[in-house]
């Protein structure tokens, strides 16, 4: 089991922000990454649609003998991970917006969260907010249009900058000092956000925490790969592979697969 791969899936290329943290922390682990870009964004879909897509991706990764699956999508986690954990006999790691550290450290008592509709409307998100953000004002903003722009190769575009300016304005008016990124696509926005935000606003994403949790769960289940062999890293996309290749910077081979 230790030599089997880690499976990772997302509604497109965003989950590569999670993969990069996992690969940096666990460089010996084989990985299989599914970019379900054909069905992106998950955030605008119904709960039933999201669940069926997660089952499809999980079944694919199980057929490839994955020992653990990272649901590298906030919307998929909040809508489907409970079902996946109940119905499949391997560990699942999910992604949640990092509200807790923002709520614990805010000085202005106001925190912004940029996320998809599917995440912000989910029961899990509201449970997390209620648990950790009592007495804190949470300024929620749906990032409508961000994922399609990233998936179409328009990350560094005037349209993206205009969208972000519009979404940040009400948060800044309420004097947020933390911005929580609630979608795995969004860490790729950080260079743009750093230009648009004042210096007192701290950006938080979940990537490193997810990588640490992955290592913890692998260790607890005696699944860590102790080999020093070069890892086998496989990326699959069910649309044009060029966007995924550009996000990865040419470091890994990307294959087209209609899954």
Residue 132, sorted as left (phi over 0), alpha (psi -120 to 50) or beta, turns out to be alpha
- The whole-angstrom separation of Cα 34 and Cα 98 is 24
- The whole-angstrom separation of Cα 186 and Cα 51 is 22
- Copy the structure tokens of residue 101: 């550290």
Catalytic option among 31, 54, 66, 73: 73
- What global pTM score does this model have? 0.92
- The whole-angstrom separation of Cα 154 and Cα 188 is 11
CB of 75 closer than 8 Å to CB of 13: no
C-alpha count within 13 angstroms, C-beta hemisphere, residue 28: 11
State yes or no: is 183 an active-site residue.
Answer: yes
Task: Please give the sequence-ordered ranges of beta strands (E in DSSP) within 104-201, or none if there are none.
Answer: 110-115, 137-142, 178-182
pLDDT by residue for the chain (259 residues), tens only, comes to: 899 999 999 999 999 999 999 999 999 999 999 999 999 999 889 999 999 999 999 999 999 999 999 999 999 998 999 999 999 999 999 998 899 999 999 999 999 999 998 889 888 888 888 988 889 999 999 999 999 999 999 999 999 999 999 999 999 999 999 999 999 999 999 999 999 999 999 999 999 999 999 999 999 999 999 888 899 999 999 999 999 999 998 889 999 999 9
State yes or no: is 31 an active-site residue.
Answer: no
Edge-first strand order for the sheet with 202-204 is 137-142, 110-115, 178-182, 202-204
DSSP 8-state symbol, 237: E
pLDDT at 111: 98
- Cis peptide preceding 90, ω within 30 of 0: no
Three-class DSSP category at 140 = strand
């Amino acid at each position: 089991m230790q030599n089997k791969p880690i499976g990772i899936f997302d509604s497109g290329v965003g989950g590569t922000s999670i993969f990069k943290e996992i690969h940096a922390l666990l460089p010996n682990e084989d990985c299989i990454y599914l970019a379900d870009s054909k069905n992106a964004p998950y955030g605008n879909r119904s709960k039933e649609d999201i669940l069926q897509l997660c089952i499809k991706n999980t079944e694919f990764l199980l057929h490839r003998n994955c020992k653990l699956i990272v649901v590298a999508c906030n919307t998929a986690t909040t809508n489907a991970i409970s079902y996946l954990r109940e119905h499949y006999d391997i560990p699942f790691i999910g992604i949640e917006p990092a509200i807790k550290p923002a709520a614990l450290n805010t000085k202005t008592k106001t925190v912004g969260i940029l996320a998809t509709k599917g995440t912000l409307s989910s029961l899990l998100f509201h449970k997390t907010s209620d648990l950790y953000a009592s007495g804190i004002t949470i300024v929620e903003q749906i990032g409508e249009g961000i994922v399609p722009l990233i998936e179409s190769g328009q990350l560094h575009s005037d349209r993206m900058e205009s969208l972000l300016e519009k979404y940040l304005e009400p948060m800044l008016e309420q004097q947020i000092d933390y911005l929580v990124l609630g979608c795995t696509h969004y860490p790729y926005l950080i260079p743009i956000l750093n230009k648009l935000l004042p210096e007192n606003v701290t950006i938080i994403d979940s990537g490193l925490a997810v990588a640490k949790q992955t290592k913890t769960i692998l260790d607890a289940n005696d699944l860590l790969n102790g080999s020093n062999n070069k890892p086998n890293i496989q990326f699959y996309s069910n649309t044009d592979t060029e966007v995924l290749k550009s996000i990865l910077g040419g470091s890994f081979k990307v294959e087209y697969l209609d899954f």
